[in-house]
Chain A
Amino acid sequence: MIRWFLRGVSHRRLTTRFPRSPEPAPAGFRARAVLDPKTATADPGRCVEVCLPGALSLDGAGRPRLDAGRCIGCGLCVDACGDGSLAIDPGYELATTTRSRLIVADDEREADISPSPLGGAFRRSLHIRHVDTGSDGAIEQEIAALLNPYYDMQRLGLFFTASPRHADVLLVTGPVTQPMEQPLRRTYEAMPEPRVVIAAGTDACSGSIWTGPEVLGGVDRVLPVDVYIPGDPPSPIALLHGLLLAAGRVSEASPPRLPGAAPSPVGGAV
């Protein structure tokens, strides 16, 4: 055992300084698509066709609309479109407090930034209960990775708890399959107030690629969701960002707009 102790203390520090200093994603990391609805000129129909989860759609005027809450970051739309109106964004900090803030469209207006759902009640300490409602299993490993030396979420006062009775946050993964609806509700009801529900992962945000009788299509079909963390799966930093957003310690992400694109309907093109 002394060998393990020495190994532990002799190792250099690995832990990220996030959120005190930003942690950039590697170049080429496929977090989500971003869109400039103004400049889409070529064949927007083709990019919509190759979007499996239906994150890209066309509005009444034939202009593309992008929903980061459905995007799986495959990048097929960027290849298909090729007119520069779409790109893949390597960002990590993608969580929002409203579903509408995950959407960018030509006629959209900047949604207000809402205050922390917990009202700052748990700024220093947050206990998390996780429920899987049909994820693909990768996000559970990313959540577990929050305890590894690179992220070490306990340094931020974040803890997993076995009992919903001790939990402030319900961290839900998966598109909510039929047999998991009741266990999800019962876990939520067992939690004391105030409580926060986080939909973690693109399939929890919207159901994403899963449609059909087996799934309900997103956590907000069952429970009121306070924080959305898109991503397929969201990286550990993205999960940390979402958890800290719930506690009111970081600010939320912008809609998936191409950098440089104008945020309001009256703005100009790139």
Chain B
Amino acid sequence: MISLQERSCRPADFAAELARIGGRLMLLFVTDSGSGRELCAIMRVGSSVVRLRAPLTGRSYPAVTPRVPAAHWFEREIHDLWGNVPEGHPRLEPLVRHGPELGDIALPANGEMGAGHQGAERLSGPGVFVFPYGPVRSGVFEAAQFLVQTGGEDVAYCAQRLFFKRRGAERRICEVPLELAVLVAERVSGTSSVAHALAFSHAIEVLSETEVPPRAQAIRRTLAELERMYNHIEVAVRECEDAALSVAQAQFAALKERLHRLGGEIVGNRFLRGAVVPGGVRFDLTGELADRTGQILREWERDYRHVLAMLLRTDSFLDRLVSAGPLSERDARDFACVGPVARGSGVDLDTRREFPCDGYGDLQVARHTDGDAMARMEVRFQEIDASLELIREALGSLVDGPIRHELGAFVRDAALGAAESARGETLYWLEAGGPDTLRFCKLRAASFVNYGIFNRLFDSQVLTDFSFIEHSLGLSPAGCDA
């Protein structure tokens, strides 16, 4: 249960007040309750969560970004969606919206970049050219675009361009009947379905003050950790592919496939969808299924350890990851990065410990200080170990009892729900419109914040590092774009 400290101020003082409060910026958005627009920030300060609000009376307000860099994409989003101008934002270009002409700029064949688009930080010099990569990319990838500026070998600058995949998930969540909204949350980022369903459900459970039964908590932990494992293995598959280690790639891909098959067996969906609902879970993990899960994971762990030990002795893999895509701890903190990206740069942050839900107890957070692709990879491998242990513990604590409690009517106006996906902190801010309707939803996937620092990872990097750096972040454009 996340409790909020409420603060409010005038919009002119908003940025100064946020900087004074300090802490980590989780969310910044505009909401309209019918009586006028309101600028709202959610901050993590020490062990509490602060909501700072300011009524937006004029069209503009002093930008937060110069004082709190983590606000950079949030403010561009506000500008795109609401038209309110953050005065003094260092780079107020379109982020979410694609103007009519952007259909063209999005094409690999078209090298032209108009002013005002992301990537407008354009370099000049002999032989420098812009290589727009995406949104249709070579290989099977999600739609995203990277504008690589290069003279041939060194990456001079690389700008990321997302939001090709915006489907309006926040609006859909409020539109559909409450009992079905979790199905939308599951499909925001299909590879973090459990985490999104959990974060959404946590918020609903706060709004309606519903307790989750202990048996459901153990099942939720099992599913959340399975999801973390297959996503971390996916990063290993991609990095092996980039390093041209075909056998290692095949071995990790086979390990990943086994986790998906396990999901198909225990909840009927390879991406673990349809199981988590507000108030509990829909499918029970019967004794037989729990035993089978335990047995499959024991065999899985044996093979995984063997392949991993080989991988960590393979120089051609280590050479490519060590020192690739460095992210300083200062950048990770300034831009409020989350997940393995933050933990690889020394930030001690894990939602499972920050906002304990679903019976997560004392958690040892894996952390590295090198800040490169290898550090992020090692954080993931350590987390797989922790996940295996957490699943063993969860399967052992499947106490008898119900797996789902009926939701009561909403008794609160607004609530924050959080869950740690494989990519990091996933947030849902929900405002109730009635006893069983939602008026407003603001969701923020881990990928939204972590994509924000993509352009900062190419300091003294070369073109062939690109895919190692990209895959070391392990992000989901679908989650970012929502």
Contact = CB atoms under 8 A, between A and B. Distances in A.
Contacts of A213: 168
Interface string B177-193: 10110011001111101
A14 interface: yes
21 contacts: A1-B314, A7-B247, A30-B268, A52-B183, A131-B143, A132-B141, A133-B143, A134-B167, A135-B165, A137-B191, A137-B477, A137-B479, A138-B271, A144-B140, A145-B260, A162-B139, A182-B104, A183-B103, A183-B136, A210-B168, A213-B168
A152 to B, nearest CB: 9
Interface in B281-317: 307, 310, 313-314, 316
B103 A143 contact: no
B290 to A, nearest CB: 15
Contacts, number: 183
B310 A212 contact: no
B330 interface: no
Nearest to B143: A132
Interface of B: 98, 102-104, 106-107, 109, 135-136, 138-143, 163-168, 171-172, 176-177, 179-180, 183-184, 187-191, 193, 234, 245-248, 250-251, 253-254, 256-257, 260-261, 264-265, 268-271, 273-274, 307, 310, 313-314, 316, 476-479, 481
A143 B189 CA distance: 16
A265 interface: no
A142 B253 CA distance: 11
B103 A179 contact: yes
Given A142-B270, A148-B256, A160 B106 contact: no
B91 to A, nearest CB: 20
Contacts of A76: 180
A215 B193 contact: no
A142 B106 CA distance: 25
B189 A3 contact: no
Contacts of B261: 26
Contacts of A88: 268
Interface in A25-40: 25-26, 28-30
Contacts of B104: 182
B190 A136 contact: yes
Contacts of A49: 177
Given A14-B254, A148-B253, A137 B107 contact: no
A112 B69 CA distance: 60
A136 B166 contact: no
Nearest to A9: B247
Interface string A1-12: 101110110010
A218 interface: no
A50 interface: yes
Contacts of B98: 178-179
Contacts of A138: 190-191, 193, 271
A157 B254 CA distance: 21
Interface in A16-63: 25-26, 28-30, 49-50, 52
Contacts of B141: 132, 140
B180 A137 contact: no
Contacts of A143: 140
B167 A177 contact: yes
Contacts of A30: 268-269, 274
Interface stretch (A67-75, A95-103, A119-127, A245-253): A67-75
Nearest to A8: B247
A73 B102 CA distance: 35
Nearest to A211: B172
Given A134-B143, A137-B479, A4 B136 contact: no
B287 to A, nearest CB: 16
A214 B166 contact: yes
Given A52-B176, A179-B102, A233-B271, A149 B310 contact: no
Given A50-B179, A160-B140, A137 B189 contact: yes
A181 B103 contact: yes
Looking at A8, A174, A179, A212, the one whose CB has the most chain B CB atoms below 10 A away is A179
B34 to A, nearest CB: 21
B271 A179 contact: no
B434 to A, nearest CB: 18
Interface in A163-191: 163-164, 174-175, 177-183, 186-187
B172 A212 contact: yes
Contacts of A140: 140-142
A77 to B, nearest CB: 11
Contacts of B256: 145, 148
A241 interface: no
B165 A180 contact: yes
A50 B180 contact: yes
Contacts of A174: 143, 165
A156 interface: no
A149 B137 CA distance: 24
Contacts of B268: 26, 28-30, 73, 75, 88, 90
A183 B250 contact: no
A151 B393 CA distance: 33
A74 B107 contact: no
Given A5-B247, A75-B274, A182-B104, A136 B265 contact: no
A179 B247 contact: no
Interface in A226-246: 232-233, 235
Nearest to B314: A4
A7 B255 CA distance: 14
A179 B106 contact: yes
A145 B257 contact: yes
A104 interface: no
B164 A134 contact: yes
Given A50-B179, A136-B190, A186-B107, 16 more contacts: A7-B307, A14-B254, A26-B268, A52-B176, A137-B142, A137-B191, A138-B271, A149-B250, A177-B165, A179-B164, A180-B135, A180-B143, A183-B143, A211-B172, A232-B187, A233-B271
Contact of A131 (B136, B176, B246): B136
A212 B187 CA distance: 16
